């Protein structure tokens, strides 16, 4: 009996033990800082359904779009740190926006990272009329015609914009930026010949490449895109060290108990490893990753520093 009493006393003493065992006991709100229908929204809904299945409590999506995701991030930053308000965001907000916007929250101190979730490869593509069949030929064309190669993006500060800025910085070239309101319009501009080059999500690039309406040159990721494994990466094509993708991650408000963060990490990484989740995401051009909170912190420091350096070097400012 004494031994049992000692165990009970110890468990009661461990901070947060009870909450770890009980959480969640009610509906969890998952804020998505983008409109419904995009990649962040899709991965959030797939994960929310699986977390509902695993925990027996509803995980519901709350879309809070606006200001390049910073409105939704700000909402989570002000929420109670009890595990019942979560955030699923992309690197365009958690790694890029702090260098471009005056935020209404402290990006470094307002969130408790849970896990890196997944990535979406971008395909460096050109219009079929462009006389470049690989990255080296595109670079040579841009050097021969400074600022005459027109590239489209999903908007100023988007990952497709900054991936091109990174390309220009590493290759020593200058091209002409024409921003659009979203990845869809940017891809349509490329397909229609309004722009000459763009980074296109792999799920969009694949069918148009097969139809001959755009020419894929290389994948932006460190490894070849799972959906287009025959396509080399930009790093393989001559720009060693090049890496860019849209990445997704889960957060809670800063101050959320560690045991709740650990429980969420456990269930999220379990969900990402589930065959049906991997298949659903793959069919949307999204590759699952998963990480510990600590590994994500390290990744995000590198990611944030990299894009900050590109933004400063290229003199990027939003008007």
Chain mean pLDDT for the chain:
93
Pairing of strands 59-63, 28-32: parallel
**Residue range 104-151, pLDDT digits in tens:** 999 999 999 999 999 999 999 999 999 999 999 999 999 999 999 999
Query: 20 pLDDT band (50/70/90 cuts)?
Result: low
Average pLDDT over residues 216-227: 97
Specify the pLDDT at position 40: 93
**Domains of the chain, with CATH numbers?**
25-120+245-314 (3.40.190.150), 121-219 (3.40.190.10)
H, E, C per residue of 218-273? EECCCCCCCCCCCCCECCCCCCCCCCCEEEEEEEEECCCCHHHHHHHHHHHHHHHH
Highest mean pLDDT among 65-69, 153-157, 267-271: 267-271
Residue-level length of the chain: 319
Q: What percent of the chain has pLDDT over 70?
A: 93
Asked whether the predicted pLDDT for residue 264 surpasses 70, the reply is yes
Specify the pLDDT at position 17: 46
Specify the pLDDT at position 319: 66
With the C-alpha atoms ordered 52, 55, 57, 60, is the resulting torsion angle positive or negative? negative
Indicate the pTM of the whole model. 0.89
Asked whether the predicted pLDDT for residue 172 surpasses 60, the reply is yes
Q: What percent of the chain has pLDDT over 90?
A: 86
Query: 265 pLDDT band (50/70/90 cuts)?
Result: very high
Specify the pLDDT at position 283: 95
């Amino acid at each position: 009996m004494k031994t049992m009493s000692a165990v009970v006393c110890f468990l009661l003493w461990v901070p947060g033990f009870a909450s770890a065992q009980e959480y969640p006991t009610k509906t969890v709100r998952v804020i998505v800082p983008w409109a419904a229908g995009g990649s962040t929204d899709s991965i959030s809904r797939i994960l929310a359904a699986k977390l509902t299945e695993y925990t027996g409590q509803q995980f519901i999506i709350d879309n809070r779009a606006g200001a390049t995701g910073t409105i939704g991030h700000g909402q989570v930053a002000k929420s109670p740190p009890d595990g019942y308000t979560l955030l699923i965001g992309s690197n365009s907000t958690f790694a890029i926006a702090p260098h471009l916007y005056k935020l209404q929250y402290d990006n470094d101190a307002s969130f408790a990272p849970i896990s890196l979730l997944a990535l979406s490869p971008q395909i460096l593509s050109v219009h079929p009329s462009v006389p470049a069949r690989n990255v080296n030929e595109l670079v040579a064309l841009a050097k021969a015609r400074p600022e005459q190669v027109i590239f489209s993006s999903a908007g100023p500060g988007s990952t497709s914009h900054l991936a091109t800025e990174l390309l220009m910085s590493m290759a020593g070239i200058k091209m002409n930026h024409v921003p659009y309101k979203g990845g869809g319009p940017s891809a349509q501009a490329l397909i229609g010949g309004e722009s000459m080059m763009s980074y296109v999500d792999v799920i969009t690039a694949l069918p148009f490449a097969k139809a001959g309406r755009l020419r894929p040159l290389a994948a932006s990721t460190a490894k070849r895109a799972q959906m287009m494994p025959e396509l080399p990466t930009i790093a393989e094509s001559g720009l060693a060290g090049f890496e860019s993708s849209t990445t997704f991650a889960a957060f809670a408000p800063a101050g959320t108990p560690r045991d709740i963060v650990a429980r969420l990490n456990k269930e999220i990484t379990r969900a990402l490893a589930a065959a049906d989740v991997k298949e659903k995401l793959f069919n949307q051009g999204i590759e699952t990753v998963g990480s510990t909170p600590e590994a994500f912190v390290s990744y995000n420091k590198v990611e944030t520093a990299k894009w900050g350096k590109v933004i400063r070097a290229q003199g990027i400012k939003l008007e």
